[in-house]
Structure 1
Amino acid sequence: MSAPMETARRVADAVLYEGYLLYPYRASAAKNRIRWQFGVLVPPGFTSTGEPSSSVTECLLEPAEDALLDVRLRFLHVKARTVEQAEGKDHRPVPELAAGERIYITFDEATEREAGAVLPVAELVGAERIIEVRVPGDQSVEPIIGPAGERLGRVVAEHRPVRAALRARAERLAGPYGLIKLRVGVENTTAWEGDDASREMALRGSLIAAHLLIGVSGGAFVSLLDPPEWAREAAEVCHNEHTWPVLVGEPGHREVVLSSPIILYDYPAIAPESPGDLFDSTEIDELLSLRTMTLTEEEKREAAATDPRVAEILERTGDLPPELLERLHGAIRYVGAPVDEGPVEDGELAHVPSQDDSPRDDSADDSAEDGSPTPWWNPGADTGVSPETDSVIVAGTMIARGSRVRLNPGRRRADAHDMFLAGRTARVEAVLLDVDGVRHLAVTLEDDPAADLHRAHGRFLYFAPDEVEPIGGDGEEKA
C-alpha cells in the first residue's frame, strides 16, 4: 500500500467503526440495542426498512497516460455471537451465562473485510470493470467451562456468506482540461430468502459502514467540495448516492479519495492527542474517557463481556496516565487569524479562549502589559469580582468556596442530565458573577472520583443559588 493510502487508512478506520458501540458500552444500554446506523448496504431482497443495497461514488480525476487506480472496498461483516446453556446433551440459547467471575453475553460482533483491485484508468474509459467480492461463511464454537471444570455451555460465533460487486467505469469529459469522471458502484448481491423480515437477520448479510478508498498513481483527484473554478461545472454534475467522496491524507495532496457514508470535509484527520478509538469520530475524547472511568465495577464487567474491543477501551482508559489525559482537554492548532495560518483540520478540536482557560491577571491595573485594555472576560478587568472569595446568601446561610450543598436542579429546569444530579452533594468551588449581574455557583460532586481532576482543569458544574440547599459548613476552605 502506498504512503498516502496508509495515511488515509487511520481516518478510514474511524469511519469503519463509527457508532460500532456507544457509551456506556453495555449490551443492556438502550442505544446499543439498535445498531449499525451508518453505511449499511442490505441484501437487495430485503426491503422492510427501506435501507439501500448499493451506493454510487463519482469523482473527478486529472490522469496521466499510464494512471493506475487502487480501489478498495472496506466494510464490517456482522459476526453473530450466541451464548447457549448446556442441558444434558443439548444446548439452548440464553441472553447470558456466568462462569465464575466471567460473564458470557449474546451480542453480535463484527469483522473487518477489505477487497479491491488495481485498475488502469485507460481501460475504464468507455467500459465497465466488475470486481466480484465473495466472503464465505464460517462458524466457531467455544466451550464455557465452570470453576470446577464442569461444562456449562458454549458460545457459537457465525459469519453468514456475503456477496458484493464493484462496478468501475470512467468517462472523459469534454473541454480543454482532460478531466475524467470516475464512477464506482458498490452493490450488495447477497441472496435474501425473504422468510425472515427482521433487520437483525438482514444485517448478517449486509455490508456495514461500507466505504471506498481510491488511490491513484500517475494522476490527481479534484476536490468536489472546493473545486478550482475551471472544474466547478464538472464537479456539479458528479452524482453520489449514499456516500460523500473527499480528499484524504496529507493536506494539499490529491492522490487519495475517501468515499464515506459519513459527511466529511476534505483532509479529515484524527487529533494526534487521541489515545485510541472510542467508536465515535465526532467524540470528545476527554468526556468519554472520564465517563468510562466512572463506570461501576459491575458495569465494567458487563461492558467487557459485551465486546472484546470494549474490553480494550476499559483497559486503555483505566491505565491512561494523567499527562495523557490532560492532553485531551484541548489543543491550539494555530496562533493568529485563521486566514493567515490555515484551517483547523477536520476531526480536531479548535480551541477558543474562555474564562476558564484565559490568562489570569489579578492586579489592580485594568490594562495588559502592552497598554491594551484587559478583555472583559478576564477576571483582572474587574477587581471588584473575586470568584474564589465572593459569597452569596442561600436560605439564610452564606455560601462561598468550600461550602457543601445539595443539588436541586429540578426547580428551574428539567434537563435529563440535571435530573440525574438531583439530591447529590457537591462542593462549591467558586461564586461567579456574569455580565448581567447574576450569581452562579461552580461546583464539583463530592462522590465524583474525578473531582480533583475537574478542579485542576477548572471544569465545573454550574447552578443558580436557588438550585442548591446548604447542608453544613461555614464557607471556609476545607482541608
Structure 2
Amino acid sequence: MRTDRHSPRLDGAEAVADAVLYEGYLLYPYRRSSAKNRVRWQFGVLVPPAWAAAHGLVDGGVAGSAESPWQQTACLVEAPDTATVRIRLRFLHLQRKVTEIRTAGGGYRPVDRIEVGGRTELSFDEAVPREFDVEASIGDLLQGHRLDVRVPGGEDVEPLVDGRGEPAGRVVRRRHPLSASLAASAVPCETPFRLLRIEIRVENTDRTTAPDSPRDEALPRCLLAAHTLATVDQGRFLSLLDPPEWAAHAARECRNVHTFPVLAGEPGSDDVLLSSPIILYDHPRIAPESPGDLHDATEIDEILSLRTLTLSDAEKREARATDPRAAAILDRVDTMPPEVLERLHGAIRSLEPVRRGGDAATDPPGSDAQDEPDTGTVLVGGTVLGPGSRVRLRPRRRGTDAHDMFLAGRTARVEQVLLDVDGTRFLAVTVDDDPGAELHQWYGRLRHFRPDEVEPLSGEVAAP
C-alpha cells in the first residue's frame, strides 16, 4: 500500500538522495545556452518500454547513464517475518516551461524568450520531485507486493504584466501524466543463518509514447533520476560491498540492474539503504561545509562557487531566466559570507600518528609491508615492488571504494610508489587491458592501492 507516514530515518539519508536526484540537473555556468545544459537527464532515466525496444536499450549493467524501461535492486536483509520494510521511490517529473507573448488579438503564441517589466524568462525544461511510499512486512514480501504509480499531468499558468499592469505574456508549465509500477519481493537465501534477498523492481509502464518519437518527446513520460530508499525495523541490511564471510555467496547472487544499493544514514547504522543509479560507497555523506546543492556532487564546492562569482551580469541574467534553481544558486553564492567560503577551502577529518618506516603500530594487520623511502619502493610478501612491477589487485573488503569491486582480481603495472602526508605508502598503478592506460600514464591519472591490497607477480600473467 502507499503511505505518507513520516520516516525520520529516511530523512537522514535524503540529503545524499537529493544530490543523486539533482545530479547534473543544471551544470555550471547554469545557463541554457551552455553546451553541457543542452543534453540533460543522464542518470536513472526510466523510459517507456516500447520506446526502449525501438531504440535497442537492452543494457543490463549495474549502474550508469544507460537508459532503460526498468531498474532492479537486490539487497540482503536479516529480519523476522514480522519486521516492516518501508520503500520510498523517488524521481523527477519533467515540467516543460514555455514562454508565451500576448498577441494583438488577445491570444498567446509561444516564443523562445520574453522580457516583460524588467523580468526575463526563457523556455526551458524544469522538473518536479515525486515520491511514493510502500510499507509491507517481510511476510508480505515473501508473497510479493506491487504498487501501481500514477502521476497526473497538469498545467500551471503564470501571467506576466508590463509596467502599466497590462497583460503582456505568460509562463506556462506543462506536465504529462506518468505511469509506473514498483514490485517488491523477498526470497530466502541458502546461508547458515536466516537471510533474505529483497528485490525491488521499478518499471515505466507508459503505453502512450510512440516508439519512433525523438528523445525530447519521450522525456516528459519518463521517470528521471529514479532511485529508492528503504528502511527495516527489527532487522538490518547487509553491505554488498563488505558482506560477512557467511553471506558472501548470497551477496554475489544479488543482481542489480541500472542501480546499486549501499548502506545509508549515519556510519555504523544498518537499517537504511539507498539504491542509486550512481555508484556510491556505504554511508555516503554530504560534506558539512557545503552550503547548498550545486547539482554537481563530483565537483568541489569551492571551485564552483568561485567560478560562479566570476560570471558577468549578462551571464547571470541568462542563468536566472533559465531556471529558479539556477537563480537560487546565484543568490546563495553572491551573498555567501567570507567565513562560509573559507570553510569550503578544506577540512581535516581526522588526525593519525605520523608513520616512520615500517612502524608495526600503523601497518595494516597481517601486513609485512615495509617502506623504503630512499628508493621509492615497498616490500610486500618478501618482494620489493617499484615502478614496472606487476601485481594482482585485491582491494580490501572493509571500507572499500565501490568502484574497486570491478577491479578485484585484475592485474596491473606499478607506475609509482607514493608517500602520503600521514606516512602511508600507496602504489599508483595502471590496469592491464585498459585501452586508456597510456593516456592515464601521460597525465598522471592512476589508481591507488595500499600495499596490503596487492599481490606481487612475476613474469607475464593473463588477465582473469
> Normalising by structure 1, what TM-score?
0.69
Does 2:118 align with 1:101? yes
CA deviation vs aligned residue, 1:431-469 (integer Å, no higher than 9, x gap): xxxxxxxxxxxxxxxxxxxxxxxxxxxxxxxxxxxxxxx
Using the TM superposition, give the Cα deviation of residue 192 of structure 1 relative to its aligned residue in structure 2, in angstroms. 2.7
Mapped pair 1:272 → 2:277: no
Aligned residues: 347
2:336 aligned partner: 320
Which range moves more in the overlay, 80-89 or 237-246? Answer: 80-89
What is the aligned partner in structure 1 of residue 24 from structure 2? 19
Match of 1:122 in 2: 139
Structure 1 340/258 Cα, relative in aligned 2: closer, same or farther at 3 Å?
A: farther
Q: 1:13 and 1:204 mapped to 2: Cα distance?
A: 20
Number of the residue aligned with 1:153: 169
CA separation in 1, counterparts of 2:227 and 2:175? 20
| 1:205-216 equivalence runs, <5 A | 205-216=221-232
Partner of 1:182, secondary structure, is: strand
Find the residue that maps to 1:204 and give its secondary structure.
helix
The CA deviation at 1:65 is 3.8
Which of 27, 33, 43 pairs up with 2:48? 43
The aligned runs of 1:4-15 (5 Å cut-off) are 4-15=9-20
Question: How much has 1:93 moved relative to structure 2?
Answer: 1.4
Cα pair 2:51 2:211 within 8 Å, conserved: no
3-state SS of the aligned residue for 1:233? helix
Aligned to 1:381: none
Deviations 1:94-128 (A, max 9, x none): 11011132101100110010002111011211x22
CA distance in 1, matches of 2:320, 2:8: 35
Which residue of 63, 74, 80 maps to 1:64? Answer: 80
Check 1:218–1:273 CA distance in 2 against 1; reply closer, same or farther (3 A cut): same
- How much is the aligned-residue C-alpha RMSD, in angstroms? 2.2
Task: Return the offset for 1:333.
Answer: 0.9
Compute the displacement of 1:196 (Å). Answer: 6.1
Partners of 1:293 and 1:336 in 2: how far apart? 36
How big is the shift at 1:340? 9.2
Aligned mates of 2:324, 2:14 — CA distance in 1: 22
TM-score (norm 2): 0.72
Specify the SS of the correspondent of 2:348: coil
Would you say the 8 A contact 1:46–1:192 is kept in 2?
A: no
Q: Where does 1:383-422 land on structure 2 (aligned, <5 Å)? A: none
> 1 CA distance for matches of 2:400 and 2:305?
23
Give the 5 Å matches for 1:21-420.
Answer: 21-47=26-52, 49=55, 50=57, 51-87=67-103, 88-125=105-142, 127-194=143-210, 197-336=213-352
After superposition, give the CA deviation of every residue in 1:294-319 in whole Å (9 maximum; x if it has no partner).
11111111101111111111110001
- Aligned residue for 2:73, secondary structure, equals strand
Deviations 1:153-208 (A, max 9, x none): 21111111001100011101123211100001000112233176121121111100
Q: Secondary structure at the match of 1:326?
A: helix
SS, match of residue 310 in structure 1: helix
**How far does residue 219 in structure 1 lie from its aligned partner after superposition?**
0.6
**Distance across 1 between alignment mates of 2:345 and 2:199:** 42
Deviations 1:382-401 (Å, cap 9, x if unpaired)?
A: xxxxxxxxxxxxxxxxxxxx
- One-letter code of the match for 2:260? W
Q: Which piece of structure 1 moves more, 305-314 or 332-341?
A: 332-341
Instruction: State the secondary structure of the residue aligned to 2:228.
Output: strand
For residues 9 and 67 of structure 1, the distance between their equivalents in structure 2, rounded to whole angstroms, comes to: 22
Indicate conservation of the 8 Å contact 1:268/1:345, yes or no: no
Q: Displacement, 1:18?
A: 0.6
Native 8 Å contact 1:245 1:258 kept in 2:
yes
CA positional deviation for 1:78: 0.5
Distance 1:196 1:78 in 2: 20
Pairwise CA distance, 1:4:
2.6
Gaps of 5+ in 1: 347-357, 359-479
Query: Aligned residue for 2:457?
Result: none
The one-letter code sitting in structure 1 at the alignment partner of 2:95 is K
Structure 2 counterpart SS, 1:46? helix
The code of the aligned residue for 2:113 comes to: E
- Structure 1 distance, partners of 2:233, 2:299, is 34
Question: For residues 4 and 193 of structure 1, what CA distance do their matches in structure 2 show?
Answer: 37
Alpha-carbon shift at residue 148 of structure 1 (Å): 2.4
2:218 counterpart SS class: helix
Cα distance in structure 2, aligned partners of 1:90 and 1:276:
41
Displacement after TM superposition at 1:135 (Å):
0.7
Q: Which letter maps to 2:167?
A: R
Q: Is the 8 A contact 2:232 2:271 kept in 1?
A: yes
1:29 is displaced (CA, Å) by: 0.8
CA 37–323 in structure 1, closer or farther in 2 if over 3 Å, else same: same
User: Aligned AA for 1:252?
Assistant: G
Structure scoring higher RCO (CA < 8 A, sep ≥ 6) equals 2
Residue 400 of structure 1 is matched in structure 2 by none
Secondary structure, in 3 states, of the residue corresponding to 2:234? strand
**Does structure 2 retain, via aligned residues, the 8 Å contact 1:289–1:317?**
yes
Deviations 1:63-91 (A, max 9, x none): 13421100110000001111112222332
> Which structure would you say has the larger Rg?
1
Shift of residue 343 of structure 1? 6.6
SS in 1 for 2:257: coil
Unaligned runs of 5+ residues in structure 2 are 1-5, 58-66, 355-361, 365-397, 403-420, 422-464
Residue identity opposite 1:56 in structure 2: Q
